[in-house]
């Protein structure tokens, strides 16, 4: 099934909410961001606490300055007024500097969190064949690429906007509650706490539907982007079909679905915004209502008008600040609903990846990986054998269609195997089973030789070209130049490009290491791509080469040239193909006949 179908897969069975599952997922992400007490993120958080605490102390001083201004102005004390103006200027300068440092640290933390979280997701994604299983075989997760790139970035950004407000809240709440109690008695803190509780409950109710809609919107955003990516990578094929109109319609359809969801999200957010704004403005009035109580009950009757204005100003600041601390927490509900949506998407991805890794029987968490190409681990078993299959049966995923039943075969050095059969009989699937991309339903499969230059190499049906220079194409999937015999020289690469018939690429690229600004898929013909893959094979020189219709775009002559090259280099071949001409390069033929049946015959060499 194509990945696009997966992109809009069945989705979550449970609607993501602000619930216990969210808390669990959030905590597990925090463990990635803060792995130890000495981690860089903890240090940055510590600095942020210091900066915001100092900022709060200065804010308090700035807040009480107006009440001192009232006193100085009503007493017409010019000297006190001058000193106050100087102090106010200094405090404001300090405050704005600290606020900017605070924002700067938050941005740095957001980048640092993104790095930690994305790297951790990458570790799981590229472990074993998780990226394959996730993109091809799992129906329960949409757009893993978007979750790793965009959702992670947004989660980290939103969390960083929350963090400085959250870490300072306990201190400011305790301090201003005390100040409020000192100025207004119990009535002030009790009314403000009551106001906060009502605000929180209301917002929790209004936030409920937003989290799941945001989750849905992100999924549709991924589907829309995927459609554009599909057109980008298949632009030529679509153009040959003159498919502009139909692709336009299909892409627009995805856009409409996305926009509908976005509108529904906005409708739900409207109520939340109304709630948040109402509480913000109510907070402004509440402070005066609180102060009015002792004034009207005659507590301050003995004060002069100047002293009363100074007291009202100071009390108003304390109450307003305490209310604003609570209002800020209520305001955070909009950010929190975003954080919850992204947390669910990333948390779900992490869980599915863990699940894939757990169920992979050849994954060894202690060693990290036993699967990848550059693994040094050589599987135990006879070195002259590549694969042993004993009574192996396999089906295609998501269907009960039996492809092969009880196949027993040993693939040994020097015995070249040709796999033939009608379309869809399971030839490529046999390679998937050999490569452990699919698990066999029953029987025993063993790969007795390692992957890599001295082991086994697969050439898939669709040539895979990476990004990078010509050298990187030839040595792929090696991470760096691999010393086969002493140091690898350019001559070897050039020699194998010639043997594969693509030495002209050297001229086109301007050299082995010249960076190219084109997409290899757009500029090479299918035949050239297949030849380049053979140059890769010649360079890596595995003992066993598994070729899935690797010469389908070449003429019989060119095919012969490639096969002779492989034989010259001592490779044992396992080939899949339809052409009769392939038989002369093989010793045994395995014919897949459909419905599980198969036939093994010896081929006569001319």
CB of 578 to ligand ATP, least distance (A): 7
| Closer residue to ligand ATP (CB): 3 or 66 | 3
φ, ψ at 298 (rounded to 5°): 85, 15
Size of the residue set binding ligand ATP (CB under 6 A): 14
Helix (H) / strand (E) element for 44: namely helix 40-74
5 binds ligand ATP (CB under 6 A): no
2 binds ligand ATP (CB under 6 A): no
398 binds ligand ATP (CB under 6 A): yes
CB of 136 to ligand ATP, least distance (A): 5
Q: Which of 1, 205, 270, 285 binds ligand ATP (CB under 6 A)?
A: 1
CB of 596 to ligand ATP, least distance (A): 12
CB of 582 to ligand ATP, least distance (A): 13
423 binds ligand ATP (CB under 6 A): yes
Site for ligand ATP in 135-154 (CB under 6 A): 136
Q: How far apart are CA 356 and CA 70, in angstroms?
A: 68
Q: How far apart are CA 532 and CA 528, in angstroms?
A: 6
Site for ligand ATP in 335-354 (CB under 6 A): none
Q: Which of 30, 309, 396, 413 binds ligand ATP (CB under 6 A)?
A: 396
Q: Which residue(s) pair with 394 in the sheet?
A: 404
Q: What angle do CA 335, 341, 342 make, to 5 degrees?
A: 90
Structure tokens at 223: 């589907």
CB of 438 to ligand ATP, least distance (A): 8
Site for ligand ATP in 109-138 (CB under 6 A): 136
Q: What angle do CA 186, 190, 194 make, to 5 degrees?
A: 170
Q: How far apart are CA 325 and CA 192, in angstroms?
A: 10
Stretch that binds ligand ATP, among 296-304, 381-389, 417-425, 452-460 (CB under 6 A): 417-425
Q: Where are the strands (E) in 455-606, listed by range?
A: 456-459, 544-548, 572-576, 588-594, 597-602
Stretch that binds ligand ATP, among 84-92, 330-338, 393-401, 405-413 (CB under 6 A): 393-401
CB of 421 to ligand ATP, least distance (A): 6
DSSP string over 500-531: TT-THHHHHHTSTT----S-HHHHS-HHHHHH
| Closer residue to ligand ATP (CB): 334 or 435 | 435
425 binds ligand ATP (CB under 6 A): yes
CB of 145 to ligand ATP, least distance (A): 18
| Closer residue to ligand ATP (CB): 453 or 460 | 460
CB of 455 to ligand ATP, least distance (A): 23
CB of 398 to ligand ATP, least distance (A): 5
Which residue reads 């609570």 in tokens? 326
Across the beta sheet with 456-459, the strand order is: 456-459, 544-548, 572-576, 417-421, 588-594, 597-602
| Closer residue to ligand ATP (CB): 136 or 190 | 136
Helix (H) / strand (E) element for 447: namely strand 442-447
φ, ψ at 353 (rounded to 5°): -65, -40
413 binds ligand ATP (CB under 6 A): no
| Closer residue to ligand ATP (CB): 350 or 427 | 427
| Closer residue to ligand ATP (CB): 492 or 591 | 591
φ, ψ at 492 (rounded to 5°): -60, -45
530 binds ligand ATP (CB under 6 A): no
CB of 426 to ligand ATP, least distance (A): 4
Site for ligand ATP in 426-465 (CB under 6 A): 426-429
Stretch that binds ligand ATP, among 70-78, 158-166, 392-400, 485-493 (CB under 6 A): 392-400
| Closer residue to ligand ATP (CB): 15 or 579 | 579
| Closer residue to ligand ATP (CB): 5 or 366 | 5
| Closer residue to ligand ATP (CB): 194 or 424 | 424
- Residues in the chain, total: 606
Stretch that binds ligand ATP, among 212-220, 261-269, 338-346, 416-424 (CB under 6 A): 416-424
Q: How far apart are CA 593 and CA 118, in angstroms?
A: 46
| Cis amide bond preceding 328, omega within 30 | no
User: What long-range pairs does 354-361 form, CB within 8 A, spacing at least 24?
Assistant: 354/124, 356/128, 356/130, 356/133, 356/134, 356/138, 357/124, 357/127, 357/128, 357/130, 360/128, 360/129
Start-to-end Cα distance in the chain:
41
Q: What angle do CA 57, 58, 62 make, to 5 degrees?
A: 125
Q: Which of 35, 185, 397, 560 binds ligand ATP (CB under 6 A)?
A: 397
Helix (H) / strand (E) element for 420: namely strand 417-421
Residues at the contact surface with ligand ATP, assessed by CB under 6 A: 1, 136, 396-398, 403, 421, 423-429
């Amino acid at each position: 099934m194509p990945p696009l179908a997966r992109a809009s897969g069945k989705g979550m069975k449970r609607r993501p909410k602000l619930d216990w599952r969210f808390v669990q997922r959030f905590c597990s992400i925090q463990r990635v961001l803060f792995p130890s007490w000495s981690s860089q993120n903890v240090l940055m958080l510590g600095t942020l606490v210091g900066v915001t605490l100092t900022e709060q102390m200065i804010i308090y001083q700035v807040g009480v300055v107006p009440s001192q201004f009232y006193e100085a102005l009503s007493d017409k004390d010019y000297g006190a007024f001058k000193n106050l103006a100087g102090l106010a200027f200094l405090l404001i300068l300090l405050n704005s500097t600290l606020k900017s440092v605070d924002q700067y640290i938050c941005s740095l933390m957001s980048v640092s969190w993104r790095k930690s979280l994305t790297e951790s997701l990458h570790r799981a994604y590229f472990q074993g064949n998780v990226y394959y299983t996730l993109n091809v075989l799992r129906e329960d997760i949409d757009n893993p690429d978007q979750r790793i790139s965009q959702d992670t970035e947004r989660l980290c950004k939103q969390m960083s906007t929350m963090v400085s407000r959250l870490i300072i809240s306990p201190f400011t709440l305790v301090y201003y509650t005390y100040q409020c109690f000192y100025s207004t008695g119990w009535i002030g803190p009790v009314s403000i706490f009551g106001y906060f509780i009502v605000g929180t409950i209301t917002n929790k109710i209004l936030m409920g539907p937003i989290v799941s809609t945001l989750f849905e919107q992100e999924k549709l955003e991924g589907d829309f982007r995927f459609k554009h990516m599909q057109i980008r990578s298949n632009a030529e094929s679509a153009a040959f079909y003159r498919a502009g109109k139909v692709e336009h319609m299909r892409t627009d359809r995805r856009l409409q679905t996305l926009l509908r969801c976005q509108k529904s999200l906005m409708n739900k957010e409207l109520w939340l915004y109304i709630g948040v704004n109402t509480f913000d403005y109510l907070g402004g009035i509440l402070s005066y209502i609180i102060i009015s109580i002792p004034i009207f009950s005659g507590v301050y009757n003995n004060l002069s008008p100047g002293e009363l204005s100074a007291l009202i100003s100071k009390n108003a600041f304390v109450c307003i600040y305490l209310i604003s601390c609570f209002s800020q927490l209520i305001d955070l509900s909009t950010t929190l609903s975003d954080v919850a949506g992204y947390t669910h998407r990333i948390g779900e991805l992490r869980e599915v990846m863990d699940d894939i890794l757990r169920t992979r029987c050849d994954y060894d968490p202690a060693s990290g990986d036993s699967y990848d190409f550059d693994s040094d681990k050589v599987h135990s078993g006879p070195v002259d054998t590549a694969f042993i299959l004993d009574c192996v049966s396999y089906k295609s995923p998501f269907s009960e269609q039996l492809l092969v039943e009880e196949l027993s075969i040993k693939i040994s050095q020097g015995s070249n195997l040709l796999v033939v059969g009608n379309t869809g009989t399971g030839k490529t699937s046999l390679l998937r089973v050999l490569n452990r991309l699919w698990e066999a339903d029953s029987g025993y499969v063993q790969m007795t030789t390692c992957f890599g230059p001295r082991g086994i190499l697969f050439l898939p049906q669709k040539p895979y070209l990476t990004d990078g220079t010509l050298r990187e194409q030839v040595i792929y999937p090696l991470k760096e130049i691999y010393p086969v015999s002493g140091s690898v020289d350019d001559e070897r690469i050039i020699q194998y490009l010639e043997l594969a018939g693509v030495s002209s690429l050297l001229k086109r690229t301007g050299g082995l290491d010249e960076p190219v600004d084109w997409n290899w898929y757009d500029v090479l013909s299918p035949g050239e791509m297949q030849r380049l893959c053979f140059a890769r094979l010649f360079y890596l020189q595995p003992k066993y080469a598994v070729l899935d219709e690797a010469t389908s775009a070449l003429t019989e002559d060119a095919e012969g040239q490639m096969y002779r090259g492989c034989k010259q280099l001592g490779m044992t071949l396992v080939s899949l193909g339809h052409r009769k001409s392939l038989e002369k390069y093989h010793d045994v033929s395995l014919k897949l006949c459909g419905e599980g049946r198969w036939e093994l015959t010896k081929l006569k060499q001319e």
